[in-house]
Amino acid sequence: MTATWLSDSGIGLGDMLPVWIDGKRVPLRVVAVLPDAPDLYAERVIPAGLLPAASDRATGTVFVVPRADAATARDSLQRTLAGTGSRILDSDDWIDAIAAQTRRANNLGLTVLLGPAGLYAAIAMVNATLIGASHRRRQRDLVQLLGAIPDQVRRTAIWQAVFVCGTGLLLGSATTALLGGLVRRAITADLAGFAAPITIPWLPLLGIGLTCLLLTVAAATAGIRTRKPPSHADDPA
């Protein structure tokens, strides 16, 4: 059994554990504790002699250690498994395939996490833009009374919104980079010096930035269009 599984289950070395093999309940004793190795072997490992013949069960992934030349063993396996739909991979190819599969799963998880985070960021930026626009009503009225045309006032509000959005995205990017660096440092510390590639989900990040920018500009534009133009009768002078 793996160390993590034993810790979670409360079963110790030497305890009995009933398992089902080929539809029969078989009590087995825990005789060894294995280090955790995801995707390399399962959390519970039993002797091959307790299992039915390979032809009677789905074997899944099987690791083969050749006793002679690796190319000779590969050719022998290809002849033996011809027509079964099995795939024969070298160790490096298998590791690359597992790494690619894990990376795709991580990217999906990041996308699921970044979606609500991007939505909350967009809502915060829209609120900041609308609140700021409401607080600057007197200044905008004064600019219009001084002779600014509506297009100039509108462009001013849009540029203010762009700066608000850019500041928020800059602070968010810095926070994400800092947290990502800390997580990477903690992970690589457990890899015994092996280099780990960096995977950055550019598409979701660019989508969040573009969505925040468009919503902020739309909020600024809507805030300008929904206001009535000031009249000279409203001038306090």
pLDDT value of residue 237: 46
Which residue is it, tokens 């920018």?
213
Q: What is the DSSP string of 84-141?
A: TT-----HHHHHHHHHHHHHHHHHHHHHHHHHHHHHHHHHHHHHHHHHHHHHTHHHHH
Cα 124 to Cα 132: distance, rounded to the nearest angstrom: 12
Q: For residue 130, with 0-12 CB atoms within 10 Å meaning exposed, 13-18 middle and 19 or more buried, which class applies?
A: middle
Both tokens assigned to 64: 């083969």
3-class secondary-structure state, position 167:
helix
Both tokens assigned to 34: 């294995």
pLDDT tens-digit profile of 191-227?
A: 766 677 777 778 877 887 888 888 888 877 776 654 5
pLDDT value of residue 226: 45
Arithmetic mean of pLDDT, 33-47? 77
Per domain, the residue ranges of the chain are 3-90, 92-234
